[in-house]
Chain A
Amino acid sequence: MAAIGDDVFFATIPELNARLKAREFSAEELARAFLERLQQLGPRYNALALPLPQEAIRAAKEVDKDFKRERLRGPLQGIPYGVKDLLAFAGQPTTWGAKPYAGQVFDFNATVIQKLAGVGAVLTGKLSMVELAGGGGYRFPSASLTGPGLNPWDRTRWSGGSSSGSGAAVAAGLVPFAIGSETSGSILTPAAFCGVTALRPTYGLVSRYGAMALSWTLDKLGPFARSAEDCGLILQVIAGKDGKDPGSAGKSFYYTPQYARAVKDLKIGFAPADFAEWAEPNTRPAFSAAMDALKAGGVQFVETKLPGFPYGQTLSTILNGEMASIFEPLIASGKVDELADKPQIAGLKAALELPAKDYLKAMRIRRLIQEEISKLFAQVDVLVAPARAAIASKLDQPLDRGAGGPPPKDPGFRPIIPLGNLAGLPALALPCGFADNMPVALQLVGLPFSENTLLALGRDFQSRTDWHKRRPPV
Chain B
Amino acid sequence: MKLTRRKLAAVVAGAAATSVPAQAVPQTAASDDDLKTARDRMRANAAALANQNVPMATEPAFQFKA
Q: Which residues of A come within 8 Å of B, CB atoms?
A: 43, 46, 50-54, 91-93, 95, 99, 102-103, 105, 136-137, 139-140, 142, 145-148, 150, 155-156, 202-204, 217, 247, 249, 309-310, 313-314, 316-317, 320, 340-343, 345-347, 349-351, 353-355, 358, 360-368, 370, 394-396, 398, 423-425, 448-449
Q: Which 4 A-B residue pairs are closest in the complex by CB-CB distance? A: A424-B66, A363-B60, A346-B34, A350-B38
Contact at A317–B49, with CB atoms within 8 Å?
A: yes
Give the docked Cα–Cα distance between A95 and B5 (Å): 11
Which residues of A have CB within 8 Å of B25? 140, 142, 148, 395-396
Contact of A310 among B8, B13, B52, B59 (CB under 8 A): B52
A-B contact count (CB 8 A): 166
Residue of B nearest to A366 (CB): B61
Say yes or no: A350 contacts B42, CB within 8 Å. Answer: yes
**Given the known A-B contacts A146-B15, A342-B29, A396-B24, are A247 and B64 also in contact in the complex, defined by CB atoms under 8 Å?**
yes
A-chain residues with CB within 8 Å of residue B46 when the two chains form the complex: 317, 355, 358
- B66 to A: closest C-beta gap in Å: 3
Q: Is the CB of B59 within 8 A of A367?
A: yes
The residues of B that contact A139 with a CB separation of less than 8 Å are 28
| Contact yes or no, B34 A314, CB < 8 A | no
18 residue pairs bridging A and B, Cβ less than 8 Å apart: A50-B3, A91-B2, A92-B3, A93-B5, A103-B9, A142-B20, A146-B15, A310-B51, A313-B48, A343-B34, A350-B35, A350-B39, A353-B39, A358-B45, A363-B60, A368-B54, A395-B21, A396-B24
Chain B residue at smallest Cβ distance from A360: B60
Q: Across the interface, do B66 and A203 meet the contact criterion of CB distance under 8 Å?
A: yes
Given contacts A92-B3, A350-B39, A354-B42, contact A314 B23 (CB under 8 A): no
